Amino acid sequence: MEEKKRHRQIVPRGREMELTEQGLRQFNGSDPSKAIYVAIKGRIFDVSTAKNFYGPGGSYAIFAGRDASRALAKMSKNEEDISPSINDLSEKEIGVLQDWEKKFEAKYPVVGRVV
């Protein structure tokens, strides 16, 4: 129980890392010595505890090391949908994205932001 409590803590403001989209790609699970990150709306979540989903061969591995906002909103695993661009999403898709964001906030710590 203590492990889960500690895991959900958010990195204090000022201690969050800032990564470019290219820098974020280094955290895609291909290097076992590095964490696995997924960004939603520019916020970077450490999903390393869910390697079976986000690591190589996992059902959501395509999102690892990327800002998956658009793809999550569209419930898509298509490469062309993996993008931080959400300006043209429908109201329904925005709602889906907000649901994903809440799920991530409940499960994974925020470690930084994409700049």
> What pLDDT score was predicted for residue 1?
38
Task: Say yes or no to pLDDT of 7 above 50.
Answer: no
Calculate the CA dihedral of residues 103, 83, 110, 102 and round it to 10 degrees.
-20
**Tokens encoding 52:** 């079976």
Closest among 15, 8, 30 to 112, alpha carbons compared: 15
- CA Rg value for the chain: 13
Q: How many domains does the chain have?
A: 1
Handedness of CA 96, 102, 107, 113 (dihedral sign): positive
Q: Is 70 helix (H, G, I), strand (E, B) or coil?
A: helix
| pLDDT at 63 (0 to 100) | 99
* Distance of alpha carbon 46 from alpha carbon 32, whole angstroms: 14
- CATH, residue 100: 3.10.120.10
Question: In sequence order, what are the residues at sequence separation of 6 or more whose Cβ sits closer than 8 angstroms to the Cβ of residue 53?
Answer: 47, 59, 60, 61
Q: 61-115: per-residue pLDDT in tens? A: 999 999 999 999 999 999 999 999 999 999 999 999 999 999 999 999 999 999 9
DSSP 110: E
Helices (H), the chain: 2-7, 21-24, 51-54, 69-74, 91-107
What's the confidence (pLDDT) of residue 15?
A: 75
Domain housing 75? 2-114
- The residue among 29 and 13 whose pLDDT is bigger is 29
pLDDT of residue 50: 98
Mean pLDDT of 8-23: 75
